[in-house]
Structure 1
Amino acid sequence: MPSRRTQLTVWGVGLAIYLLAVFHRSSLAVAGLEASERFGISAAQLSTFVMLQLLVYAAMQVPVGLMVDRWGSRSVLLTGTALIVVSQAGFALADTYALAVLARIGVGVGDAMTFVCVLRMLSSWFAPRRIPLMTQLTGTLGQSGAIVAAVPMTWALGTVGWTGAYLIAAGASLVVGVVAFLVLSDTPEVRRLRGAPISLTAVRISLTASWAQPGTRLGFWIHFTTQFSSTTMSLLWGYPFLVRGEGRTPAEAGLLLSLIIVAVMASGPLMGWFIGNHPWHRSTLAISVVWGLALTWGAVLLWPGSAPLWLLLLLMVVVGIGGPASMIGFDLGRTSNPSERLASATGLINQGGFVASLVLVVAIGIVLDAFTPGTSTAYSPEAFRWAMSTQYVLWGLGLLQLWRWRRSTRAQIRALGGGPGHVPGTA
């Protein structure tokens, strides 16, 4: 086992790449209104930016998992970083809607190549008992990239303008990418790990075997149900909702969105400790978070007029907790699949939250346009109330599937000799 210093160096560089990927993914969160004016687009067209980015991200998860199995996490991670740099620079310089959409698609592809690679590195560089905590720390600290897409990004857009702000962002990833090229290795023993060539038959067998595991499916639905509210608020609709829907100032909206990340960073390590010590209750924790989300959103949306500040603060905290809760899905995938299928299983699970987020981003845009006359972007509080209510359709579907696959997963664990005292694969 490598020294603790070497482990933390590799993890730190991988974390920095993921953090910047989250920043690029979230960089439209406070620039939505500017993008509408820059490109002269409606809410539905604005949603297309994030919709295509999420669609590409979700669609790339399984191919990325297979690429990692074949060419190693280091090579795939560096390729994704390079693509983000080029695409974000293109977004900075785009002067038409079509070019901007193309650039965001590139950001989505590059973003898709980060998290799965970092998780695979964790499984190679750390002892199994430390992986749940390191996974939570990676996801939690990585989400702080969204803070850079809130208050500082708001400042950058107002100070150096659209082009300057996004070029600076691209340059940051370029610098970290060079450091990663010099520092990262796939495993402590091998700098560039290469797997056997993968045939279509082998791909089909691997994916089928991973998806056949009840734990993989439970992980997928946990990721699906817990993540989309946080992702949608952070990526696009949180800022307009708080400003136009709740009557908050831009500064207040930026600070409220930053609180999501504070909640992520505070709750992530606690969840990592909990699932590492109580693996039998992983799904119970996820279901509790879903009910917390549904009840808190209900209080905000049903409040007469604008919700009070204390309730919005509570909403941001609960929404933030949903991010670390989605990481529970990856731990279920890890304990349900052999190491040779870990990347593909992780890719399958990672699709869940982003598929749900994609559906929600589009649904909100459609509902806002339906309640807003003409091509105006002056969305009313009532329009936002109906638009944000579309989350309940996804929560209802997700809770039904969680109940179904939780029963199947627990039955399989018991059949393998596990139970509340011990879950196979968690030693």
Structure 2
Amino acid sequence: MVWAVAVTTYLLAVFHRSSLAVAGLAASERFDISAAQLATFTMLQLLVYAAMQIPVGLLVDRFGPRAVMLTGTIVLALAQAGFAVADTYPMAIGARVFVGLGDAMTFVCVLRLINSWFSPRRIPIITQITGPIGQIGAIAAAAPMTWALGTIGWTSAYLVAASTSVVAAVAVLVLVRDEPARRSVRGVELSWTNIRTSLAASWAHPGTRLGFWCHFTTQFSSTCLGLLWGFPFFVRGEHTSETFANVLLTIMVVAVVVAGPLLGWFVGAYQWHRSSLVLAIVWAIVAVWTFVLFWPGSAPSWLLIVLVVVVGVGGPASMIGFDLGRTSNPIERLASATGIINQGGFTASLILVVAIGVILDLASPGSGTYTPEAFTLAMSFQYVLWGIGLIQIWRYRHKARNFLRADYPEQWKRWSGRDWD
């Protein structure tokens, strides 16, 4: 029950995060803004989300996941209500900033609750199921919001959306407990000394850094396509129809949902090979993108389908970073470590979203119509992030394994299967 309420609250947070995706034209007309100003909504949400991960982790370690999740849900409800009645661009920007803030206060709480309520062997698969279920919120935001905007109008549509988080807040308040034995938990008081100590201890562990770089390297490609650049890339860069572009983005979400439980089973059964699985997935993403970007002319439909499937798998693969953090940190600083790791993918996504926009403008100066060649150049910026990420994963996987062997030799033998060593 606790997990069901928590994961539903997370699904609603993703719903609110994605609720603007189908309202771009309506927002442009309502606020009389340009495409660049419209893109600012997405960039600000990513920036706030990424920037708040460590503070939210510290708050969860101090006040418990229930209190922080309740606060985040209330913030989301108020932010969406503010967005509903906003009639100027600055008011709308302020509302979306608070949507990002409330969104940031949800996922870390869900992971902490999973670690408190499930056995260690079940945690990886429950975590991997949680991520894809949350992403269903992105699908749920499409058809209902499109219908609502066209039927009951902007203000009513977003007020109804806000009301869903009011219901979620009541459910969190009544039904969620931080631990089976306690309704609420409290950690050590927040002070600069305690904050520095907790963050330094979490970051010092090579397992946390390995988790950060795994999250950094696997997530940004799917996030970039799903939140902003996927539709224009397929339509302008690969000359697909708008209908097929929407189908491709839907297939990507389906791949996320299907891959999550499979990866969760693998992680639970083969803990020693978690980073190996990440490396294999990243190299697969790099290979398929290379075929797409350098295919003569437009890539065939079957190859674009392969692309969104493989890129979609990168979404739940990023969750492996959290499992690496879980086995590298005690529970009293687990949320702080999770916040650090969760910054990785969203920082990379933010860099990529901005870089693609800048490169597109530079490659198509003043034209207003981006060419396939411009998209090839812009999307190739991913190789920079993949290169950095792969090097760091390789570095810290060796450091993490050496640390485990030196400090926890029995666990090292059990995980590596080297009882003879």
TM tier, shorter chain?
Answer: over 0.9
* Structure 2 CA distance for partners of 1:382 and 1:27, relative to 1, 3 Å: farther
Post-superposition shift, 1:98? 2.0
**Which residue in the other structure is 1:103 paired with?**
95
Aligned to 2:283: 291
Deviation at 1:423, TM superposition (A): 6.5
Indicate conservation of the 8 Å contact 2:292/2:303, yes or no.
yes
Is the Cα–Cα contact under 8 Å of residues 187 and 332 in structure 2 kept in the other structure?
A: no
* 2:384 alignment counterpart: 393
| Cα distance change, pair 420–266 in 1 and its aligned pair in 2 (3 A) | farther
Change (3 A) 1:240 1:328: same
Relative to structure 1, is the Cα distance of residues 231 and 341 closer, same or farther in structure 2, using a 3 angstrom cutoff?
same
SS in 1 for 2:122: helix
Structure 1 residue 192: deviation in Å? 2.2
Q: 1:389 to 1:40 in 2, by over 3 A?
A: farther
Q: Residues 225-236 of structure 1 correspond to what in structure 2 (within 5 A)? A: 225-236=217-228
**Alpha-carbon RMSD:** 2.1
C-alpha distance 10-130 of structure 1, shift in aligned 2 (>3 A): same
Contact kept? 1:242, 1:248, Cα under 8 Å = yes
Q: Does 1:273 align with 2:265?
A: yes
- Residue 384 of structure 1 deviates from its aligned partner by 2.4
Could you say if the C-alpha distance between residues 259 and 60 of structure 1 is closer, same or farther in structure 2, counting changes exceeding 3 Å?
same
Deviation >6 Å, runs of 4+: none
Cα 1:88–1:240 change in 2 (3 A) is farther
Which residue of 1 is the match for residue 360 of structure 2? 368
Given that 2:68 and 2:109 are in contact with CA atoms closer than 8 Å, whether structure 1 keeps it comes out as yes
Residues 1:253 and 2:242 are matched in the alignment? no
Q: 2:405 & 2:169 partners in 1: Cα distance?
A: 45
- Deviation string, structure 1 residues 140-163 (Cα, Å, up to 9, x no partner): 211111112345444444444544
Between 226-235 and 32-41, report the one with greater CA deviation.
32-41
Q: Is the deviation greater in 34-43 or in 118-127?
A: 34-43
User: In the alignment, which residue of structure 2 is the partner of 1:4?
Assistant: none
Relative to 1, partners in 2 of residues 1:319 and 1:124: Cα closer, same or farther, differing over 3 Å?
same
Whether the aligned pair in 2 keeps the contact of 1:29 and 1:234 (CA below 8 Å) is no
The alpha-carbon deviation at position 34 of structure 1 amounts to 4.8
Shift of 1:165: 3.7
Deviations 1:20-44 (A, max 9, x none): 1112222333444554455454454
Range 399-408 or range 366-375, more displaced: 366-375
Counterpart AA for 2:106:
T
Q: Aligned partners of 1:419 and 1:267: how far apart in 2?
A: 28
Shift of 1:107: 0.8
| 2:164 alignment partner in structure 1 | 172
- Does the residue aligned with 1:398 lie in a helix, a strand or coil? helix
**Contact (CA 8 Å) 1:43, 1:368: kept in 2 or not?**
no
- Separation in 2, partners of 1:74, 1:189: 14
Distance in 1 separating the partners of 2:348 and 2:56: 19
Q: Does 388-397 or 36-45 show the bigger shift?
A: 36-45
Find the aligned partners of 1:34 and 1:289 in 2 and give their Cα distance: 38
- Using the size of structure 2 for normalisation, the TM-score is 0.92
Aligned 8 A contact 1:229 1:319 in 2: yes
Distance in structure 2 (CA, Å) of the matches to 1:207 and 1:384: 39
Residue matched to 2:10: 18
**Paired position in structure 2 for 1:223:** 215
Pairing partner for 1:322 from 314, 328, 332: 314
| TM-score of the two chains, using structure 1 as the length reference | 0.91
Aligned position for 1:203:
195
C-alpha distance 269-282 of structure 1, shift in aligned 2 (>3 A):
same
Q: Check the 8 A contact 1:413/1:423 in 2, yes or no.
A: no
Unpaired runs of 5+ residues, structure 1, are 1-8
Alignment of 1:47-126 (within 5 A): 47-126=39-118
Alpha-carbon shift at residue 279 of structure 1 (Å): 0.6
Kept after mapping to 2: 8 A contact 1:44/1:365: no
Q: After TM superposition, give the deviation of residue 391 of structure 1 in Å.
A: 1.3
Which stretch shows the higher mean deviation, 75-84 or 138-147?
Answer: 138-147
1:422 to 408, 415, 420: 415
**Residue correspondences, number:** 415
In the alignment, does 2:233 pair up with 1:241? Answer: yes
Post-superposition Cα deviations, 1:266-304, rounded to whole Å, max 9, x if no partner, equal 111111110111011000100111111111122222223
Indicate how the Cα distance of structure 1 residues 127 and 412 shifts in structure 2: closer, same or farther if over 3 A, else same.
same
More divergent stretch after superposition (146-155 vs 305-314): 146-155
Provide the C-alpha distance between the structure 2 equivalents of 1:15 and 1:355, rounded to a whole number of angstroms.
24
CA distance in 2, matches of 1:123, 1:217: 20
Task: Give per-residue Cα distances to partners, 1:328-347, cap 9 Å, x unaligned.
Answer: 00011011111111111111
Q: 1:94 to 1:243 in 2, by over 3 A?
A: farther
Alignment match, 1:3: none
Letter in 2 for 1:409: A
Deviation per CA, 1:183-241: give whole Å up to 9, x if none.
11111222222223222101101110110000000000000000111111122222222
SS of equivalent to 1:144: helix
Q: Deviations over 1:49-77 (max 9, x none)?
A: 22221111111111111111111111110
Distance, in Å, in 2 between the alignment partners of 1:227 and 1:28 is 21
Task: Give the distance between the partners of 1:358 and 1:72, measured in 2 at CA.
Answer: 28
- Shift of residue 386 of structure 1? 2.1
Distance in 1, Cα, partners of 2:150 & 2:374:
28
Deviation larger for 139-148 or 208-217: 139-148
Q: C-alpha displacement at 1:18, in angstroms?
A: 0.5
Question: Would the aligned equivalents of 2:263 and 2:316 in 1 still touch at CA under 8 Å?
Answer: yes
Distance across 2 between alignment mates of 1:119 and 1:90: 29
Gap regions ≥5 residues in structure 2: none
| Distance across 2 between alignment mates of 1:254 and 1:165 | 22
Equivalent AA in structure 2 for residue 76 of structure 1: V
Please give the residue correspondences for 1:322-341 in structure 2 after superposition, counting only pairs within 5 Å: 322-341=314-333
Cα–Cα, structure 1 residues 174 and 122, in superposed 2: closer, same or farther, change >3 Å?
same
